[in-house]
Chain A
Amino acid sequence: MGASRKLPVESLAAAVTFLHEFAILYFALRTMASKAAAVAVDFARIYSSLGLGKETVSSLQAFRKRHSDAQRLNNTYNNLPTTVNFEHYRSVLNNKAIVDEAEKLLKDFKPVSYDVGAHIKAIETFEAKAVAKAKETEQKIDVELKQLQETLANIEEARPFDQLTVDDVAKAHPRIVETVETMLKKGKWTVPGYKEKFGDLNLM
């Protein structure tokens, strides 16, 4: 009669918490992005006010660190000089011809141009797909979150074990009532093992 079925209350609660945090983070980032794309994301507020879990915060911090590292590297390479002072080499080196040759080579050098349109197009289609998928996931998560909340509310509102009534159990498991009816038809008026477990009030 489903006696060994166990409700995964803890994992359910953890799932609800995770989905809750994910949804909070998602909506917060989305709101910030939509309000002003140029304004930096207020991470201090995200860490403190949204009530995120430790793992979420640490992964968010790792992501932020990666981003700032990449930005720093980009700045460093942007600030490096891109011109060569040939006059200096002319004054230093005796062999002027090689300096002239080097200057000519450098002037003549043209970086090969690639057609990045196809790549950009691919990236854009990928982005569109990703956004569509994210929206789909968001809707899915919303539905799932709702269901999980319902289940959680159901669990929380369930009456404690010692307040169950016969009618509750009979309603939840109509097979018990059927079993009792067949027992009565067969003339069995006792439950095997009941007396050993609960005793009776017989004096004799």
Chain B
Amino acid sequence: MPQLLPFFFFNQIVITFIILFSIVYILSKYVLPLNLLTRVIRSYITILSKKN
């Protein structure tokens, strides 16, 4: 049944979306906020060390 051929790729599509969303979630929730915190703190302690 050739009309059913696209549905054979359904598992790949599902897996791809799962991986994509989990990457976005992990990055936005854990990795990038820590990155931002590091940058803010780096700027802050640089200001401190220059003033003293």
Chain A interfacial positions (CB closer than 8 Å to B): 1, 3-4, 6, 161, 164, 166, 169-170, 173, 176-177, 179-180, 183-184, 189-191, 193-194, 197-198
30 A-B residue pairs with CB within 8 Å? A1-B44, A3-B44, A3-B47, A3-B51, A6-B52, A161-B45, A161-B49, A164-B45, A166-B34, A166-B38, A166-B41, A169-B41, A169-B45, A170-B37, A173-B44, A176-B40, A176-B41, A179-B40, A180-B37, A180-B40, A183-B36, A183-B40, A184-B33, A189-B32, A189-B36, A191-B43, A193-B43, A194-B43, A197-B46, A198-B42
Q: Are B45 and A180 closer than 8 Å at their CB atoms?
A: no
Chain B interfacial positions (CB closer than 8 Å to A): 32-34, 36-49, 51-52
A110, chain B: closest CB distance, angstroms: 77
Which 9 A/B pairs are nearest by Cβ-Cβ distance?
A191-B39, A169-B41, A180-B37, A194-B39, A166-B38, A191-B43, A3-B47, A191-B40, A166-B41
Known: A3-B51, A194-B39. A180 touches B33 (CB 8 A): yes
Rounded to whole angstroms, the CA-CA distance of A184 and B32 in the bound complex is: 10
Q: Are B48 and A3 closer than 8 Å at their CB atoms?
A: yes
Which residues of chain A are within 8 angstroms of B48 by Cβ–Cβ distance? 3
Rounded to whole angstroms, the CA-CA distance of A84 and B38 in the bound complex is: 97
